[in-house]
Chain A
Amino acid sequence: MAIVGIDLGTTNSLIGIWKDGSPALIPNAHGDVLTPSVVGIDDKGEILVGKVAKERLISHPKETVANFKRWMGTSRITHLGDNKLLPEDLSALVLRSLVRDAERFLDEEIIEAVISVPAYFSDTQRKATKVAGQLAGLKVERIINEPTAAALAYSLDHQEESSTLIFDLGGGTFDVTLLEQYDGVIEVHSTAGDNYLGGEDFKDILINHLIQTNNLDQKNKDPQLSKATEEIKVSLTKKHETDYFFSVGGQEVKGTITRDEFESLVQPLILRIRTPLERAIRDSGIAIEDIDNVILAGGSTRMPIIRHEVGRLLRKLPLAHLNPDEIVALGASVQAGLKERNEDLKDVVLTDVCPFTLGISSLRIEGGYDDIPVMAPIIERNATIPISRNQGFSTIHRRQTELDINIYQGESLKLENNIKLGDMSVKVPRGLAKNKSIDVRFTYDINGILEVIVTSEKSGKSSKKIINTSGTSLTEAEIEQKFKELEHLKMPPWEQEKNRILIARSERLYEELTGESREFLVAAIGEFRTSINDQTLRPENEQRIRDKFNELIDNLDRPIF
């Protein structure tokens, strides 16, 4: 009956648990803590998740999806075999595989999870994440912000009074959070971010550059090119210059790229990290020179240019002794421990903020905006949650009997720049214009769920609405039904995972090799397949065969850099 913490990332997902006074990450079937957030389907209609699917991205691009976290909160449909899947469904499949690994590892049933999301995820995207959890058969009460989780993981080891800036640049999202800790209290002051900035964008720029310099007539999405580019990007974080050599669609690509070149290419993205950074610092009211630590989270912060830029802007060497890939998952596990009120954590209190302004549309008769409705903020951004705020509004016309209330999220005065979360309409008794007639109360709870209560002044009647945003939101019954649908999607038995990944990897390798070594590989694959399908095979022998085959592939698949 454990509660787990899950970091559902754009590129990789992790699962962890609070155990014996410290957070621990749980390895998957392949012994890695990182499970790639990739979902695929094989010829038998079985769902593949993680490393296996990632290997198949190149050999079976049409039956594999990645980076779907970026679509969360939209109703984009992915066709996977005969199945039509929403981003929630795909995330649910990843969650299901993570939970299955954890259940095996812990030998315990898992019913509840804390899932981390980028701090700047909107209400809709948070809801979608929760639905994904439900679809995976989990109870998800708590959604935690990724930078907050990172801070939580960090602050457990460092109890001293300090203020900390978390710089979280992941695969797809970017967040900045400023917080302060003292006497067991972890107080988040402000959060800002960009939902569409991450390692993938850096990669896209590099891909475009490669296409241009080598005159490739390839689409951006080509998985082989994408994989090669990823390798170039990674090697550029270690080396100042790298040679590349790979083949795309029968065309051989060869060249050299220096780190300086790469850095000048990504300059527009670097500029984009400044705005959230500044906004977070401004909102927090903490002076830059009072920030004691800068912590990096997210794999993309490995890039030297990011480290350099953060250091330059904040005049502080960022701390990087924690593994940026794992820190968020560790924090989510700590939050899971907090959630179950673990004894070790009883002195720790975490207060978080609502990262965006919430309000309704209104006409400001006195303020000159009497023809177009504008945003009337009710909960200002970076207010400490849980919070409940109310404000009075009035009718515009005499004898008006109904009021439409549109609920928005965002910082702009103009409504079209903000995100609409929902609407409701209330009846009011007939009366004169411009008399205060309703009271709107916004309650934003600790789980990031907004509840709107509208009370009519005269009649005292109130109507309540828990914001269920249109688009992707589903009713309980629909979720139930979807859950059953997803049940049909079978995952392969756990034991076969290791063999599958070897085969998938070798199939991918087949495409990259030519001539003699290609033939050799085919023969080896065939032999491996027949031997592991042998019913009389004993487990220890199976392990031996697997190791042998693995060694063979490793020899063939030597990195070119």
Chain B
Amino acid sequence: MWTLLGIEPINDKKTIKRAYARKLKNHHPEDDPVGFQQLNEAYQDALKASEYQYVQYDYEASFVEAEKNSFDVETVNTSSVFAPLDDEVSCVETKENYTTALSRTKDIPPYADEPDDVVISVEPFLNQLNEFKDEMSLNDWQKLIQDATQLPIFERRQFEMALLVFFYTPVKGYKKTILAAELSPEFFSVIDEHFHWRDNELTLMQGWAGSHEHNSVFLKCLHQYVKPSPEELLEQLEGLLSSPYKIASHKNWCEFFHVACMLNKRQLKGISKKAFQILLTHYHSCEAHLTPAILNAFDRLFGWTWSWAGHRTACLKRPYRQKLVDDTMALADMLIEARLQSATYAQNIDYKKSALRFYSTLFISALGWSVLLAAILFAGPFVQVVAVLYLIRLSIQKIWQVAFSR
């Protein structure tokens, strides 16, 4: 591309533009469309390359600067803890954009012809967003968003960006700590109404905020929360599995399972087989990324190990190749293994449910033990023998379980 432009690789955009202008006289768009297209593509690539180099060069500095400015965006912090390296780059980028954007506003003098009553500062809005509380009603929310649309474009974009970030942020004041993305769909529709997020889907996904991943996952969420459908879930799963760098991100899986939990039991059952097949087809390419925690979450969601036999036969019945059979078996092993390990991740997803189950098992076993003890102490000899035998069986089972899981 540099030869087409007739210059050495360089970072300076002005030089690239000048070279392009020079060459353009030879490849006039009216006479030489093919030559022009080649030249134009080389030019666009060169511009992109120069930008990339610039980012690379300034990476350290911008990170330090971002730290210094220490604008409190919780998500950025949390996600960079979770995320692997390439995810981190994008996060830092967002942060950099965000903070520099913010510091810029302060420098710009207010517009000269501005009447006094016009809002120009984005700060109060950001503050309001940061202090988002459980008590905030839909009306307040609507007012906040509506007022924000009155901001000048530059500030609006800042606010929009903050909104995007906001939807990954756990809301502290909200009953319990949940992701803001779990708010009711009405909140989304308000945003959509004023910021037209769904219309600008492609643009948002192209990542004008600098982090492609955030936006795409978010937008999928947006669609799902408004109207979750099993098909979209499958598509999301497919998307997650087909690009290994996304799988690596813990957060993306979180999003996925959050959405999945929105579906009812019947819908889940309906897509269970398909989901399994998708998992199976991508099993080889992303084996390393499928941690036990994720598999376990799948299992909890679809209950695969419960209906295991059915699934396996369904898969094996088809005239698949031997490799696929092996894959199925391997995946099955992994699933079972994962199930036996401690389910920390699943607890995260489904904290409430698992807590309930935990207490209920505790209660039932306590009841059982007391009945047994009572039987041994007070009942007749026959019942006593039965109770002791049962006790022995229980302890053997417990010992067996512990031994197996080790």
Residues of A that sit less than 8 Å from B by CB: 182-185, 271, 274-275, 277-279, 281-283, 288-289, 308, 311-315, 317, 347, 349-351, 357, 366-369, 371, 384-388, 411-413, 445-446
Of chain B, the residue at the smallest CB distance from A389 is B37
Q: Mark B105-121, 1 if CB is under 8 A from A, else 0.
A: 00010011110001000
- Do B154 and A277 touch (CB < 8 A)? no
Cα–Cα, bound, A271→B242 (Å): 40
- Do A386 and B21 touch (CB < 8 A)? no
Of chain B, the residue at the smallest CB distance from A349 is B24
Q: Which of B28-36, B262-270, B333-341, B380-388 contacts A (4 or more CB under 8 A)?
A: B28-36
Minimum CB–CB distance for B109 against chain A, Å: 9
Cα–Cα, bound, A350→B30 (Å): 10
Q: Which of B55-63, B210-218, B229-237, B301-309 contacts A (4 or more CB under 8 A)?
A: B229-237
Residues of B within 8 A of A281 (CB): 153
- Do A182 and B154 touch (CB < 8 A)? no
Cα–Cα, bound, A311→B112 (Å): 10
Residues of B within 8 A of A278 (CB): 153, 156-157
Cα–Cα, bound, A386→B41 (Å): 11
- Do A185 and B24 touch (CB < 8 A)? yes
Residues of B within 8 A of A185 (CB): 17, 20-21, 24
Cα–Cα, bound, A315→B104 (Å): 13
Residues of B within 8 A of A313 (CB): 152-153
Q: Mark B77-109, 1 if CB is under 8 A from A, else 0.
A: 000000000000000000000000000100010
Residues of A within 8 A of B236 (CB): 368
19 inter-chain pairs at a CB distance below 8 angstroms, sorted by A residue, are A183-B17, A274-B153, A275-B196, A278-B157, A279-B200, A312-B111, A312-B114, A312-B118, A313-B153, A315-B154, A349-B25, A350-B29, A366-B242, A368-B234, A385-B29, A386-B33, A388-B33, A413-B201, A446-B29
Residues of A within 8 A of B149 (CB): 271, 274
- Do A182 and B21 touch (CB < 8 A)? yes
Chain A CB within 8 A of B326 CB: no
Cα–Cα, bound, A351→B203 (Å): 22
- Do B113 and A366 touch (CB < 8 A)? no
Minimum CB–CB distance for A175 against chain B, Å: 17
Cα–Cα, bound, A366→B30 (Å): 40
Residues of A within 8 A of B156 (CB): 278
The 9 closest A-B pairs by CB, nearest first: A368-B235, A183-B21, A386-B33, A185-B21, A313-B153, A349-B24, A288-B154, A384-B40, A315-B111
Residues of B within 8 A of A384 (CB): 40, 44
Cα–Cα, bound, A312→B156 (Å): 12
Cα–Cα, bound, A108→B20 (Å): 39
Minimum CB–CB distance for A8 against chain B, Å: 22
Known A288-B153, A311-B113, A367-B238: A279·B22 in contact at CB below 8 Å = no
Of chain B, the residue at the smallest CB distance from A309 is B152
* Contact of A317 (CB < 8 Å), options: B17, B24, B113: B113
Residues of B within 8 A of A347 (CB): 25
* Contact of B203 (CB < 8 Å), options: A279, A315, A371, A446: A279
Cα–Cα, bound, A311→B118 (Å): 12
* Contact of B22 (CB < 8 Å), options: A183, A274, A277, A386: A183
Known contacts A275-B199, A311-B113, then 13 further A-B pairs from the complex at CB < 8 Å, ordered by chain A residue: A274-B153, A278-B156, A279-B200, A282-B208, A289-B154, A314-B153, A351-B29, A368-B231, A368-B238, A369-B235, A386-B33, A411-B202, A446-B33
- Do A411 and B24 touch (CB < 8 A)? no
Residues of A within 8 A of B242 (CB): 366
Residues of A within 8 A of B114 (CB): 312
Candidate in A277, A289, A351, A368 with the most chain B CB atoms within 10 angstroms: A368
Of chain A, the residue at the smallest CB distance from B201 is A413
Q: Which of B15-53 contact A (CB under 8 A)?
A: 17-18, 20-22, 24-25, 28-30, 33-34, 36-37, 40, 44
Of chain A, the residue at the smallest CB distance from B114 is A312
Chain A CB within 8 A of B9 CB: no
| Binding site secondary structure of chain B | helix
Known A311-B111, A386-B36: A446·B30 in contact at CB below 8 Å = yes
- Do B22 and A368 touch (CB < 8 A)? no
Residues of A within 8 A of B24 (CB): 185, 349, 351
Chain A CB within 8 A of B6 CB: no
Of chain B, the residue at the smallest CB distance from A372 is B231
| Binding site secondary structure of chain A | mixed
Residues of A within 8 A of B196 (CB): 275
Cα–Cα, bound, A351→B202 (Å): 24
Cα–Cα, bound, A547→B231 (Å): 77
Residues of A within 8 A of B17 (CB): 182-183, 185
Minimum CB–CB distance for B105 against chain A, Å: 10
Q: Which of B264-292 contact A (CB under 8 A)?
A: none
Residues of A within 8 A of B21 (CB): 182-185, 349
Of chain A, the residue at the smallest CB distance from B208 is A282
- Do A388 and B37 touch (CB < 8 A)? yes
Q: Which of B165-216 contact A (CB under 8 A)?
A: 196, 199-203, 208
Of chain A, the residue at the smallest CB distance from B18 is A183
Cα–Cα, bound, A288→B239 (Å): 34
Of chain A, the residue at the smallest CB distance from B109 is A315
* Contact of B104 (CB < 8 Å), options: A275, A289, A385: A289
Of chain B, the residue at the smallest CB distance from A316 is B111
Of chain A, the residue at the smallest CB distance from B203 is A282
Q: Mark B126-158, 1 if CB is under 8 A from A, else 0.
A: 000000000000000000000001001110110
Of chain A, the residue at the smallest CB distance from B242 is A366
Cα–Cα, bound, A301→B112 (Å): 20
Cα–Cα, bound, A349→B22 (Å): 10
Of chain A, the residue at the smallest CB distance from B27 is A349
Candidate in A347, A357, A384 with the most chain B CB atoms within 10 angstroms: A384
Of chain A, the residue at the smallest CB distance from B160 is A278
Candidate in A271, A351, A388 with the most chain B CB atoms within 10 angstroms: A351
Cα–Cα, bound, A349→B18 (Å): 13
* Contact of B238 (CB < 8 Å), options: A315, A357, A366: A366
Known A312-B118, A315-B108: A445·B201 in contact at CB below 8 Å = no
- Do A367 and B152 touch (CB < 8 A)? no
- Do A367 and B203 touch (CB < 8 A)? no
- Do B37 and A367 touch (CB < 8 A)? no
Of chain B, the residue at the smallest CB distance from A271 is B149
Residues of B within 8 A of A445 (CB): 33
Cα–Cα, bound, A350→B28 (Å): 9
Residues of B within 8 A of A315 (CB): 108, 111, 152, 154
Residues of A within 8 A of B202 (CB): 357, 411
Residues of B within 8 A of A371 (CB): 231
Residues of B within 8 A of A312 (CB): 111, 114, 118, 152
Minimum CB–CB distance for A267 against chain B, Å: 11
Cα–Cα, bound, A314→B114 (Å): 12
Minimum CB–CB distance for B207 against chain A, Å: 11
Cα–Cα, bound, A385→B36 (Å): 9
Cα–Cα, bound, A351→B36 (Å): 10
Candidate in A281, A312, A314 with the most chain B CB atoms within 10 angstroms: A312
Minimum CB–CB distance for A461 against chain B, Å: 23
- Do B235 and A367 touch (CB < 8 A)? yes
Residues of A within 8 A of B111 (CB): 311-312, 315
Known A283-B203, A351-B29: A182·B18 in contact at CB below 8 Å = yes
- Do B37 and A387 touch (CB < 8 A)? yes
Cα–Cα, bound, A349→B36 (Å): 12
Known A312-B114, A411-B199, A413-B201: A277·B235 in contact at CB below 8 Å = no
Of chain A, the residue at the smallest CB distance from B229 is A368
Residues of A within 8 A of B208 (CB): 282
Minimum CB–CB distance for A390 against chain B, Å: 12
Cα–Cα, bound, A289→B158 (Å): 14
Cα–Cα, bound, A520→B232 (Å): 77
Cα–Cα, bound, A313→B118 (Å): 11
